[in-house]
Structure 1
Amino acid sequence: MAEQIVDQVVEAVKDAVEAAVEKNATSEETITNEKVPSTPEGIAVAYGSLVIMAMLPIVFGSIRSVKLHKAKKVSGEKADTMTKKDAMFFPIIASVALFGLYTFFKVFSKNHINLLLTGYFFFLGVIALAHLLSPIVNSLMPAAVPKIPFHIHFTKGEGKNKEDLINYKFSTHDIVCLVLSTAIGVWYLLKKHWIANNMFGLAFAVNGVEMLHLNNIVTGCILLSGLFFYDIFWVFGTNVMVTVAKSFEAPIKLVFPQDLITNGLSASNFAMLGLGDIVIPGIFIALLLRFDHSTKRKSRIYFYSTLTAYFLGLMATIFVMHVFKHAQPALLYLVPACMGTPLLVALVRGELKTLFAYEDHPEEKPEKKETKESSSSNKKKESKKAK
């Protein structure tokens, strides 16, 4: 019995590999257009809305990342930043995860997998949306509702062995945010409505741009370059990306109906944009905004120029897709636009060295530790000789 199950799994994986290498000319990865809507206005509204929804998380996430960066510097807390090694391995890890999901969808029931993923992303979405709503609720909450602080603190051990297990601070306003987010989450669970999906998707995107920190330009260039080839391979070389995107029922993409004008909110012919095509360029653009702030000048030339380049790259993706009627990996256009623009601006302004020298959080150089160790060993040797 066990051997039969193993044989079935092996055969399913083989079938998945064989299917993966077959190009699917009709499928689309990043922005899809399976059915041609009845009116060109529907296309314009759908893709125009997707472009706007893509720009908003980058703008607001970048601004919030500057505030978070400053707050951590004041508190002395170390930010979790992506290293060069992390950036190099990220496309490989993403490829393994992508093909793993593809194989799971081939081997196991799609409904069961999506049930688990829906529950997982429900909790993540509620937390992300509550975090996003927090400043809005704080500003809109009437004075009649007091902001009472709470602090949950669980520790393990005593004295020097004392460890924090849970150390979480929140207020009554945060509870209101959590209730609102949970209501939207229940709506998503029950209806899987595209508006609820987009609310979770936007929350993920804003939080991703805000909290995922690239430490310097070199790390950003390594990450973007790796994902440039990753996106091209999985879209043009196989049908894996498209199959997973269509099978994966989770708010990891923004969608907008192309038949909204004719069918209203019950429309079903969706165009879509993956969150990766927002967050990955977004964290690089957020780094450029932090660099602009570090120069102490009023203009935000690197941020605005690269944001404009992102917009043009996204428009180019949509244009080429409609001209050739074929899937287009968005990073094929977004990476050269977002990576080339700040380098060109820095070259024109004579700031290439300044740009590449910038670091959010300067890394500790191990050389100092080595020199200390060597000096201490030399002192020991000298003391032994003296004896």
Structure 2
Amino acid sequence: MFIYDIVMVFGTKLITSNGCSVMIQVVTGVDCNQKPIGNGYYPVAPLEQKREEIMPLLFYVPLVSDVMQECYDIDVESEYRHIMLGLGDVIVPGYLIVYCFIVDKLKPTKVPYGVIVTIGYALGLITTFLALRFMQLAQPALIYLVPFTIIPVVVAAWMRGHLSMLWYGKFSSNI
């Protein structure tokens, strides 16, 4: 899923005729247009309020740092300022988070794996939002979320001698 997310966001822009990411087209359900931003161009999915969402594949996260956010009128503004977070960016790391909480029930530790992975996920989301804000370009969230969740859990399990237990799922009392 990590590699798939990167290829579908960055790689498909090179092979599509309009230079748009297939991932953006799929989750928004519309073709992307080229809109000038600064010195260059990048694909921006237009907002269509009258079109009902067929399947909830996307979360719209408002830009917290945008002081003019309350002044936007969706019916008038041509571009509503928000960050799109795909459903897969919640579900895929969610599997690891749930697994870590199950491990905590079966093999309690001083600092639970569930807490470690949840903090990693929060830091990964913050990094994702910062990358989106500063680069002004669609980013695959899993490129940040996967390392921020897996690396701390693997390091903690290795330091505790639980890496084999976590990898194979063998939760015997003598491990």
Do Structure 1 and Structure 2 share a fold, with TM-score over 0.5? yes
Contact 1:292/1:299 (<8 A) preserved: no
CA contact (8 A) 2:113 2:153 kept: yes
Structure 2 match to 1:130: none
Alpha-carbon distance between aligned partners in 2 of 1:280 and 1:315, rounded to the nearest angstrom: 17
Q: Which amino acid aligns with 1:294?
A: L
Could you tell me how far 1:298 is from its partner in structure 2?
6.4
2:10 corresponds to 1:236: yes
Q: Which residue of 1 aligns with 2:160?
A: 349
Deviation by residue 1:85-112 (Cα, 9 ceiling, x = unmatched): xxxxxxxxxxxxxxxxxxxxxxxxxxxx
Aligned equivalent of 1:288: 100
**Cα pair distance change 1:269/1:322, threshold 3 Å:** closer
What is the alpha-carbon distance in structure 1 between the residues aligned to residue 74 and residue 135 of structure 2?
Answer: 30
Structure 2: runs of 5+ lacking an equivalent: 13-20, 31-52
The Cα shift of 1:357 comes to 3.3
Distance 1:323 1:257, change over 3 A: closer
Partner of 1:377: none
Relative distance call for 1:357 and 1:257 in structure 2 (3 A) is closer
Larger radius of gyration: 1
1:166-245 alignment runs, 5 A limit: 227-238=1-12, 239-245=21-27
Q: 1:332 to 1:256 in 2, by over 3 A?
A: closer
- For the 8 Å contact 2:125–2:141, the answer to whether it is kept is yes
Indicate how the Cα distance of structure 1 residues 359 and 285 shifts in structure 2: closer, same or farther if over 3 A, else same.
Answer: farther
Task: Give the deviation of 1:251 after TM superposition.
Answer: 1.9
SS in 2 for 1:244: helix
User: Which of residues 129, 135, 160 is equivalent to 1:324?
Assistant: 135
Counterpart among 251, 268, 275 of residue 56 in structure 2: 251
> For 2:83, what is the secondary structure of its paired residue?
strand
Cα separation, 2, equivalents of 1:265 and 1:290: 43
Give the equivalent residue in structure 1 for 2:118. Answer: 307
The structural deviation recorded for 1:257 is 4.0
Write out per-residue CA displacement over residues 233-274 of structure 1, whole angstroms, 9 at most, x where no aligned residue.
Answer: 000111100111221633221114446422489784432211
Structure with the largest fraction of helix = 1
| Identity value in percent | 33
Q: Which residue of the partner structure matches residue 70 of structure 2?
A: 261
Look up the SS of the partner of 2:10 in the other structure.
helix
- Aligned mates of 1:251, 1:328 — CA distance in 2: 19
Structure 1 contact 254–272 (Cα < 8 Å) conserved: yes
Contiguous gaps of at least 5 residues in structure 1: 1-226, 361-387
Aligned residues: 133
Aligned counterparts of 1:290 and 1:300: Cα–Cα separation in 2:
14
Aligned AA for 2:117? T
